[in-house]
Amino acid sequence: MMRKHLAPFVALLAVGMATLTACGSTSEAPQPARAEATTSPAAPSAAGAGADDLSLLAGTAKSNNSPAGTGDWAVAGGGVAPEAVRQTAQKWVQLTASRAGDLNPVVVNGAGLTLYRFDKDSNNPPTSNCSGDCAAAWPPVTVTPGGKIFIAGIKKGAVGTVQRADGTRQVTINGWPVYRFAKDAKRGDTLGQGVGGTWFGVTPAGGKAGVPADDQTTPDAGGSTAPPATSAVLFDDPNFSDNGASQGAAGSGCQNLSRPGVASSVAAPGSLKLWTGPGCTGRSTVINGDVADLAAIGFDDAVASVRFN
């Protein structure tokens, strides 16, 4: 089936602090030595520890119309000071259940870069033990107060934050702080997998990607029945991919899709009912939150309407 594909970064004023420098990657294999423990202000709640001023939104940054050059898309260059880049990068974070290399599922950010967890951290209470040289090689995924976290394929109740020793707030999944790896340069890279026997891609439930279930030390996030959704984002491609188009639906009762019969994945912050015909007719099925691949439930390229509440 032919699919449509969707085809200004506002530079922030640099903070005049001459002593600030950007954390970068090293040419040698990084070691998590000299890491210092941080503390969590509270145990994670449904919105995460200290995350009550954050917005947790279903879908991706692209489907939520985030400006170019912000959040996970922010990059150095163009004369923008490193501190300004860091600040604009913290305005939003994207957490998407996806595939990277041989890891499936694994969480990636808005730029498609693999996210990791560290065995020497703790999720009860949430604690990061990676700072200094360690944090230069493994940049923590941080978000500013009042920022946004876009989630697709991850339970809202599993997402939170923990305060680091430098005062920044690091994103957590099921209590585990999450990081990037400085040597991962493009989407699909998993060069950090298994480094030192302590770094692993993080799964949507906070576990270790690519590790047999018997060797996991992290239990899956609890799975109570989700409340009814009042909105959803439907993606033309599986795994909530932004490579193809997407469309939103919201409201109460039955809602017809503007482009029926093209959805391959759905991001929804709760339960709803999918129908193959307009006006909520035809075949139907109830989903309880995100579905990364509608083919798995027999509804690929088949959804024409949805019913909320």
* Per-residue pLDDT tens over the stretch 55-85: 999 999 999 999 999 999 997 544 444 778 8
CA 271 to chain centre: 20
Q: What is the pLDDT of residue 211?
A: 86
The rounded distance, in Å, linking the Cα atoms of 213 and 69 is 38
Q: Cα–Cα distances in Å, from 231 out to 58, 84, 180, 234, 264?
A: 8, 34, 30, 10, 17
Q: What is the pLDDT of residue 38?
A: 35
142-170: average pLDDT: 94
Residues 6 or more apart in contact with residue 159 via CB below 8 angstroms = 47, 48, 51, 56, 95, 149, 151, 171, 172, 173
Instruction: State which amino acid sits at residue 22.
Output: A
Q: Label residue 213 by pLDDT band (50, 70, 90).
A: low
